[in-house]
Amino acid sequence: MKTVIGIDFGTQSARAILVDSANGEVLCSHSVEYKHGVPEDSLVPIEDYDSALMKLLEAVTADGYAESVAAVCVDATSLTLVPLDKNGIALGRRAEFANRPNAQVKLWKRHTAQKQATEALELAKSMNEPFLGRTGGNVSSEWVIPKLLETRDEDPEVYGEMDIAADLCDYLTYLLCGKMVRSINAMCFKSMWAEDLGFPSDEFLNGLREGFAEEYKYLLRGDVKYTGDAAGYMKKELCERFGFKDDVVVAAGLVDGFTSLVTLGAMRNGEAAMVVGTSNVLTVQTDELCDIYGICGIARHGIVKGICSAESGQNCTGDMLGWFMENMLPAKERDEAERKGISPHDLMLQKISEPWKNRVVAVDMWNGSRNVPCDLELRGMFAGMSLETKPQDIYLALLQAIVCGARVQIEEFAKYGIKIERIVATGGIALKNPLLMQQYSDILGMPIEVGVIKEGPAMGTAMFAAVAAGIYNNPMEAYEHMGTVDFVTYHPDVAHKAEYEEIYRRNLLLRESAKLFK
């Protein structure tokens, strides 16, 4: 038997699965909460990730499977910036930088570099930089250029000590194999690089800061690998520590939202995969590479080799629903849920009977807007409340806001000829919140297939590991043996189509109004 390990580093926790590569059976799984959680400033101590990686490897090989492991692959949130020194040590580990913010890991959701992002976007537009057609016409503060410029501007000493700027998935891969390789995911969608265009022009980069072009290319050096490519072999000391054979392949890392389309088999033209969790990621496969605006970006071979992938997303899904539970749910509802022995979320779902009648409208910008528009300074909104409004009405409005935000993005894709024929979904919320998934179907007006798998992202990563090990020739072949075939399908409520169209119309009006309250 050959097994593979898929490891998924999410925002709040990391999980790993050990899988039989012949049939996709999960033989062992384990999850780890980060020691420091998710700090309010979104600056994470590097030891949280280092220790989680080792704990996961130990846990999934504890039952005697270590010698069967053929390959390991890691995905992680992106762009989560890890600055390394010339010895490959994370700067945050060095005593002199322990309390320096810019030496710590900058989580994807840290948006403090908005000033630098705005500056870069304005300059790129004035210079008609070709990369804008691949990045949705945007420069996000979540991406690497603004985050590096922020470090350069605020702490030149830390910046001067930085020898490599790594996305988290590439850093974790480096820990496993000792080689700094670059995920094509992160390079195309977060670092403004394209296989045919290369990096942004020197004129643009030096226009941001004198000498930045040379610095940027140096900090992002490393071979760019396709998903499913091998990055190297597991380091000898790790093989000895965990009992691996000495030929365990370490696959190139991936962005966390990009693995589930393989798990669910959404790898053909017109197929889309949606990950519904702390935030949302929507990836769409298309045969044609085109310049596209308003979404995160598009890249040839961006996720699966041989086809173009376009990405969009929403910054605040699970986070927003969690905010509601913590800050808006009345005590009497909490008590009622406790008496019934159910979660507050399930209580809200029980109290919603006719969702098409909801008059409360919300906009899902509690953490800014990632796409359509890309403006992380925008904020969420409510409208339509009255003295009769109940907590479940507000909760439902948040669910509908999530779906309306997705529809805006899908309609933006359609403007560029990217038509979505099939949507599959995974993620913790997709399985836990059936009303949300039904609202997706009702408001989008199409079936939604939810994969019945607990660890969709980790399974996709395991499948890429199987490809890197040569067990399968490509991701589609891996899916045929390991992928999810069990789906719960939600179908549109055609009887109330008009009411759902009205909900979407009102949501569009409120989304437009949000621009007035930045």
* DSSP assignments along 161-183, one per residue: H--EEEEHHHHHHHHHHS--EEE
The pLDDT value recorded for residue 337 is 97
Cα–Cα nearest to 168, from 282, 70, 276, 42: 42
User: Which residues in the chain come in under a pLDDT of 50?
Assistant: none
Q: Render pLDDT for 388-410 as a digit per residue (tens, 0 to 9).
A: 999 999 999 999 999 999 999 99
What distance in Å separates the CA atoms of residue 424 and residue 33, rounded to the nearest whole number? 27
Query: What was the pLDDT predicted at 425?
Result: 95
Query: In sequence order, what DSSP letters do the residues of 85-146 get, joined into one string?
Result: -TTS-BGGGSGGGTT-GGGSEE-TT--TTHHHHHHHHHHHHHTT-GGGGTTBT---TTSHHH
Structure tokens that stand for 404 in this block: 């309306």
Closest CA to 478 of 1, 18, 6, 23: 23
| Nearest alpha carbon to residue 448 among 462, 458, 463, 433 | 433
Rounded to 5, what percent of the chain is helix, strand, coil? Answer: 45, 20, 35
Question: Parallel, antiparallel, or unpaired for β 280-286 and 271-276?
Answer: antiparallel
What is the CA angle 411-414-418, rounded to 5?
135
Distance CA 254, CA 434 (A): 28
- AA identity, residue 120: A
User: 215-257: per-residue pLDDT in tens?
Assistant: 999 999 999 999 999 999 999 999 999 999 999 999 999 999 8
Compute the distance between CA of residue 376 and CA of residue 448 in angstroms, rounded to an integer: 28
Cα 378 to Cα 370: distance, rounded to the nearest angstrom: 10
DSSP 427: S
Q: In this predicted structure, what is the pLDDT of residue 124?
A: 98
Q: Which domains does the chain have, with CATH numbers?
A: 3-255 (3.30.420.40), 264-452+486-518 (3.30.420.40)
List all residues 6 or more positions away from 155 whose beta carbon is below 8 Å from its beta carbon. 100, 101, 102, 103
Query: Residue 505, class by beta-carbon neighbours within 10 Å (0-12 exposed, 13-18 middle, 19+ buried)?
Result: exposed
Residues 511, 406: Cα–Cα separation, whole Å? 13
Q: Which two tokens stand for residue 415?
A: 């403007």
- Residue that the structure tokens 């780890």 belong to: 32
* pTM of the complete model beyond 0.75: yes
Instruction: Report the C-alpha gap between 297 and 278 in whole angstroms.
Output: 21
Sequence-distant (6+) residues with CB within 8 A of 284 are 270, 271, 272, 309, 310, 311, 312, 413, 418, 420
Task: Give me the residues paired with residue 48 across strands.
Answer: none
CB 302 within 8 A of CB 185: yes
CB 425 within 8 A of CB 440: yes
pLDDT value at residue 266: 95
User: What is the residue-wise DSSP string for 261-295?
Assistant: HHHTT--STTEEEEEESSSEEEEEEES-----BSS
Rounded to the nearest angstrom, the gap between the alpha carbon of residue 375 and the centroid of all alpha carbons in its chain is 17
User: CB under 8 Å to 214, separation ≥6 — which residues?
Assistant: none
Please spell the DSSP secondary structure of 53-72, one letter per residue. HHHHHHHHTTTTTGGGEEEE
